Amino acid sequence: MSTSDLVLVKAGPYQFLARFESKDAPKTVAMFRKLLPYRQKLIHVRWSGEGLWVPLGDKDFGVGFENQTTHPAPGHILLYPGGYSETELLFCYGGVSFASKMGPLSANHFLTIVAGNENLRPLGERVLWHGAQDVTFDVADEAT
């Protein structure tokens, strides 16, 4: 795996290394690469379970559905490109059944945490009990 396939994710006081799912979600990965470094706030999901999200309103990234799932695993990061609900990023730390007030949704799995997984639950609980946390996605370098 080359460093061009890796993303350094800093969320709250934690650091993770994620791998792009380039083979299965090429359009989403290409779009997200152009955004790096990408800074936002993570808040706890309302409907989906043990996940964090970045609400993005009516933002249109110009990608459709690919490699979509409704039941992501801990460490999966998804993009919901909009439609029935608002555009969003979903950062899973435990059991998730992706949904909105409109019902079940599916989103593009385009990043997977490959290092730092032991801090997924502590991050999720921190956001749940202490509120929004800064998150930054950036290209991982050789030293990461």
Closest by CA to 122, choosing from 111, 133, 114, 112, is 133
Burial class (CB in 10 A: 0-12, 13-18, 19+), 39: exposed
CATH 3.40.120.10 for the 3-138 domain, yes or no: no
Query: Distance between CA 55 and CA 10 in Å, rounded?
Result: 18
Q: In degrees rounded to 5, what are phi and psi of residue 35?
A: -85, -20
pTM: 0.94
pLDDT one-digit tens code per residue, 78-98 = 999 988 889 999 999 999 999
Q: How confident is the model at residue 3 (pLDDT cuts 50, 70, 90)?
A: low
| Stretch 6-19: mean pLDDT | 98
Residue 67, pLDDT > 60, answer yes
Domain segments of the chain as ranges: 3-138
